[in-house]
Structure 1
């Protein structure tokens, strides 16, 4: 069975370190092929998708994690959202006037920040901001964990775009278990550094060609490793006709009717999956009378 589009959790019980490994294929295609992105933007979205999956898996909540890059550089913004059910969606905007794009992460995201938003189904939303002032997204995420969680964390992100029709990305995350960070900090850090050094020997070719069990054996055959059941990862968009109608309810009825008179219908297009929702005058009447869904179906 393919190990792509799956998240694998594992733990080093003797070292008080936990790990995650995710490999994306089909779920990534939906994100990067939703728009005619240059390959540099596709690769950035690929890294962000793997990172979002890893970050969501570190949380013990039901809800959503959003990674958003805001930049004054080539990339205007890039967003990937992941849910606790490991569904992903993402979108990016860049300076389309450029005929060629830089290859490096730093040049793509000049004067940029990364906003990490955690939105639980129950409880308050949390938002953290980290400057994208390091040469890679993985290094910036490590800095985020150092600042916000104060837990030693190692992040590796990889992409394989050798086949434009079968793009792939992957990520690994290692982290000291919270309970051990305070009780045996010196030993935990030593063990964490040892495991991190082993992890750094993994090549991109091995990541994308080997099954997950073989990757873990190749890296940690001298360590005790316990694996948990894999969790499927997929693309899914949370847009709906009801959500679009709820947004229209906040717009004056007369303004909506004017748009319909001029254009024949109100058209709302989801930037993540490109589903179009159309609303006519009957729908607007229903929406402002408390029937949020309206009458017609998405086109």
Structure 2
């Protein structure tokens, strides 16, 4: 089980953490689109961020991270459900991407939006500028600006693996003195800053924590698996066609030569509908094709 998140907590101070490690799910996403290396790296980092955050949020529903800009990468998007099913996509202009381009060059004037879409209750969205040195710094700024518990995020990806580390200061319990709390928080975050990309991507969670905090009392909890899964389906594609209305759907069918293909941007799969399928949809017969199903 390589793709997972793991929670940990410091026994002697009011700090908790989360580690995310992705490989198979990351490779599933990269296999769907030929992303240039800098784009693949950014998308992997955002996937690791979503995996970290889904482990800290207590809700049933969907977490959506979207980074948008006016640059060579106008969109990065990751969706991760409370069931820890993840999918991701990027939009980019290949001619404008240099091999050594960083976040500032790829996504100038960008913003990062975090949307929490619960199955029950109200949808929530927070937005922060993409003005940090990397996506981890931008997410850290998001938490700082939202007046939540002090939180730091570190993200890395190399086109093969993606990894993330999150530290969060908890309300006073073990330490109540403000200066001591500040010093403790500074200590654990300063040590985390020393973790190299190679160590984040190459070491398991237990080894990473020992490398950083071998003088601290740290408890590492059981891992929770993360997997790639796309939520597209024939039924959803059919609902999209129904939303067009019968007249527009039939006109589109005529323009497309008698066969409509509804493509999923995330996984590149297609659902194909012919005249018999369209007639069945609008007569209330459902989305299962009377002719051969093509997927």
1:278 matched to 2:278: no
Residue 62 of structure 1, CA deviation: 1.3
Match of 1:236 in 2: 229
Q: Normalising by structure 1, report the TM-score.
A: 0.91
Query: Which secondary structure does the structure 2 equivalent of 1:33 belong to?
Result: helix
Match of 2:52 in 1: 54
Residue 49 of structure 1, CA deviation: 0.5
Matches within 5 A, 1:205-284: 205-262=198-255, 263-284=257-278
Structure 1: unaligned runs, 5 residues or longer: 162-166
Match of 1:164 in 2: none
Q: 2:282 aligns with which of 285, 288, 292?
A: 288
Preserved contact between residue 6 and residue 230 of structure 1 (Cα < 8 Å): yes
1:156-189 per-residue CA deviation (whole Å, 9 max, x = no partner) reads 111234xxxxx11110000012466996554333
Match of 1:68 in 2: 66
Q: How far apart, in 1, do the equivalents of 2:157 and 2:64 lie?
A: 20
Match of 2:293 in 1: 297
The count of aligned residue pairs is 292
Query: Which secondary structure does the structure 2 equivalent of 1:250 belong to?
Result: helix
Residue 36 of structure 1, CA deviation: 1.2
Q: 2:145 aligns with which of 144, 147, 150?
A: 147
Q: How far apart, in 2, do the equivalents of 1:64 and 1:182 lie?
A: 35
Match of 1:28 in 2: 26
Q: How far apart, in 1, do the equivalents of 2:285 and 2:266 lie?
A: 25
Q: How far apart, in 2, do the equivalents of 1:181 and 1:61 lie?
A: 27
Residue 223 of structure 1, CA deviation: 1.2
Residue 255 of structure 1, CA deviation: 1.8
Query: Which secondary structure does the structure 1 equivalent of 2:267 belong to?
Result: coil
> Is the alpha carbon distance of 1:182 and 1:197 closer, same or farther for their aligned partners in structure 2, counting shifts above 3 Å?
closer
Structure 2: unaligned runs, 5 residues or longer: none
